[in-house]
Structure 1
Amino acid sequence: MYESSFFLPLVALAFFAAGGVKGITGMGLPTVAMGLLGTAMPPAAAAAMLVLPSLATNAWQLFAGPAMARLWRRLWPMLLGIVVGTAGGAALLVRAAPSWSGLALGLALLGYAGYALWAPPLSLPSRLEPWLSPLVGLTTGVITGATGVFVMPAVPYLQALRLDKDELVQALGLSFTVSTLALAAGLLAHGALRVEQVSLSALAIAPALAGMWLGQQVRARISAKRFRQCFLLFLMLLGLELTVRPFL
């Protein structure tokens, strides 16, 4: 696969598209990259390539805001749960047959897109945070480890905390950064993060950042609501294809 003349263009295109989505919406790079790459390679290999571009874009998002210390104090139980859950989930991603790990990835994409399209906004009372935060983190970690997708249920949970706009963007960056580092550690522990994959992951940083820059330029010129709807429908189609593939 790595020797194919189409492989590097595929990786560059996948991360350029994923970076563009992140530039427009503020999130979605791992989801789009895993979905696109998962159609052409085992999800464990796709997750290994995700590590450095995800770190580069999420670290920028994390450190761009002023509330990191406050968010860390508030969200550390969720972040700890992410680390613990990812460590266990990564074993599923590495050991499962590619077709079945692809099925799990497809279900994760369908679940996220369906929730984002049709679920009403949630609002959680602060009294639920102490016990709900680690549970959300643990669940997110297991899904992250098993599929390489960071969003469920951490994103709807963070949105339900009613943070202001800047804090929400930074909280997402914090969650995604911790998820990326935990996923990298899980893949490394299970022998699924090798030197050649790290090199390819480094090469993917440039198209991801280029796509992110272009997405930020496009964001001011299109309807964010309409783009979000089209993006989520695209994720549903991609998730459906990955879900039915093992049965064909």
Structure 2
Amino acid sequence: MNTLIEYYQHLGWALSLLVMMTFLLAGAVKGMIGLGLPTVAMGMLGLAIAPAQAAALLIIPSIVTNTWQLAAGGQLRVLIKRLWPMQLGIFVGTGLGVLWLSIEGGSWVVRALGAALLLYALSGLFLPTLRVAPSAERWLGPVCGLITGVITSATGVFVIPAVPYLQALGLNKNQLVQALGLSFSVSTLALAGGLYWRGSLGGGELNASVLALLPAMLGMWLGQWLRQRISATLFKRVFFIGMALLGAHLLISG
């Protein structure tokens, strides 16, 4: 048990409490709307700790919750056949980003994180529902995956432009949830590989990430409970406004 909590002992009780509360909130958001765990975690933790630390902490909660999301729906084989070029693009983009960029690169990474959060929030609030023609998927999917991978390697956020692209494919609700789970799973594994290659993901970080799974799962259960009781549309609007304010703060303060 000492090895599990050693990271948090070094972090201090105040930051440790922030980590636990952040993953509780991030899990609740994901349980409510099917996405948002890494976005919330990176945004809130980016206020207090280095983005590379925050990205390492989200690895296990993100893998487990995305696998849970990926397993539901029964459309996985069909979605892999349709979306594999995009997923390959994510891997390639993350790999290139790891070579070109560094999530440990200082204040510019915090500003990049803020810009990614702000862009995501504004697209969620104001971007109209788009549609991608089937003929365009062959080239647009890999391009979106490549850009998503580069942004992931620099900020730890893997929703831009992956989420708007997947939403524009005309998938039904269950297919979209599973497609998001697939994309997020690939992004998380690619990010974990990049962090490990750079030496930012070791045993201590993985142990700390395992403990962060507990509040994330509790939050996800709470979010699923809330989904039956409050308007998902209203919740999404509040979520995007909160992400916009957080992103603007990180972008300005750096």
Shorter chain as denominator, the TM-score bin is over 0.9
**2:219 matched residue in structure 1:** 211
Q: How does 1:1-248 map to 2 (within 5 A)?
A: 2-91=10-99, 92-97=101-106, 99-246=107-254
Residue identity in the other structure for 2:159 = V
Q: What SS class does the counterpart of residue 122 from structure 1 fall into?
A: coil
Matched-pair contact (CA < 8 Å) for 2:118–2:247? yes
Residue identity in the other structure for 1:71 = L
1:185-219 CA-to-partner distances (Å, cap 9, x unmatched) read 01101111121111110000010000000010011
Matched-pair contact (CA < 8 Å) for 1:94–1:192? no
Deviation >4 Å, runs of 4+? none
TM-score by length of 2: 0.94
The whole-number CA distance in structure 1 between the counterparts of 2:103 and 2:202 is 13
The whole-number CA distance in structure 2 between the counterparts of 1:209 and 1:163 is 27
Q: What SS class does the counterpart of residue 6 from structure 1 fall into?
A: helix
* Residue segments in structure 1 that go unaligned for 5+ positions in a row: none
Counterparts in 2 of 1:130 and 1:12: CA distance versus 1, 3 Å:
same
Matched-pair contact (CA < 8 Å) for 2:102–2:153? yes
Q: How many Å apart are 1:26 and its aligned residue?
A: 0.6
Residue identity in the other structure for 2:71 = F
Taking only aligned residues, the RMSD between alpha carbons, in angstroms, comes to 1.1
The whole-number CA distance in structure 1 between the counterparts of 2:115 and 2:152 is 13
Aligned pairs, how many? Answer: 245
Q: How many Å apart are 1:86 and its aligned residue?
A: 1.0
Q: How many Å apart are 1:3 and its aligned residue?
A: 3.5
* Residue segments in structure 2 that go unaligned for 5+ positions in a row: 1-7
The whole-number CA distance in structure 1 between the counterparts of 2:203 and 2:15 is 17
1:140-169 CA-to-partner distances (Å, cap 9, x unmatched) read 100111111110101111111101111110
Residue identity in the other structure for 2:234 = R
1:25-57 CA-to-partner distances (Å, cap 9, x unmatched) read 110000000001110011011001110000010
Matched-pair contact (CA < 8 Å) for 1:23–1:211? yes
Q: How many Å apart are 1:95 and its aligned residue?
A: 4.2
TM-score by length of 1: 0.96
Q: How many Å apart are 1:7 and its aligned residue?
A: 2.2
Q: What SS class does the counterpart of residue 70 from structure 1 fall into?
A: helix
Q: What SS class does the counterpart of residue 142 from structure 1 fall into?
A: helix
